[in-house]
Amino acid sequence: MTVGPEHQSQPTASLLSDVVRHVTALIRGEVALAKAELAENVRRATSGILMFGGAAVLGMVGLGALADATVAALVTAGLSAGWAAATVGGGALLFAALLVHEGLGTFDKTNLIPRRTVRNVRRDAEQIKETLNDSSR
């Protein structure tokens, strides 16, 4: 008894249907993982933005409230008004620069990449290639 072409194509169609279903489920899973990773990365970025905001507020408070008092104290100690203001302003700017530096550390570009998703997609692509190669033999 020979098998006609209509019987041979049915298992192939079933296999293709299974492949499509599995690939669809795989893609949905990877999209969900990417969303979760990106949400975590956004939370980290928000932390960095808050550090920048803190640096700005502290910089203004430092320059506004303490600068006048410190300049007055330095002038009283015998420093000229110009040198006293330059010293206080330089100190406040140095502190603000340190806060900005810390904030920039949270914005490392590599931290924003969804590493697990990239790793999983690469692994899945390799498995699909292997499956297709095994099927074609």
The upper half-sphere exposure of residue 81, i.e. CA atoms within 13 Å in the direction of its Cβ, equals: 1
Instruction: Tell me how far the alpha carbon of residue 60 is from its chain's centroid.
Output: 29
Provide the number of structural domains found in the chain.
Answer: 1
In the block, tokens 């110009």 appear at 82
Q: Flag whether 71 is in a domain.
A: yes
Residues 31 and 25: their CA atoms lie apart, in Å, by 10
What's the whole-model pTM score?
A: 0.39
Q: Flag whether 2 is in a domain.
A: no
Residues 62 and 71: their CA atoms lie apart, in Å, by 12
Q: Flag whether 81 is in a domain.
A: yes
Q: Flag whether 39 is in a domain.
A: yes
Q: Flag whether 126 is in a domain.
A: yes
Q: Tens digits of per-residue pLDDT, 45-98?
A: 898 899 999 998 887 887 787 788 999 999 999 999 999 999 988 988 898 899
Is there a contact between 63 and 92 (Cβ–Cβ < 8 Å)? Answer: yes
Q: Flag whether 14 is in a domain.
A: no
| Both tokens assigned to 98 | 């340190």
Print the domain residue range for 42: 26-136
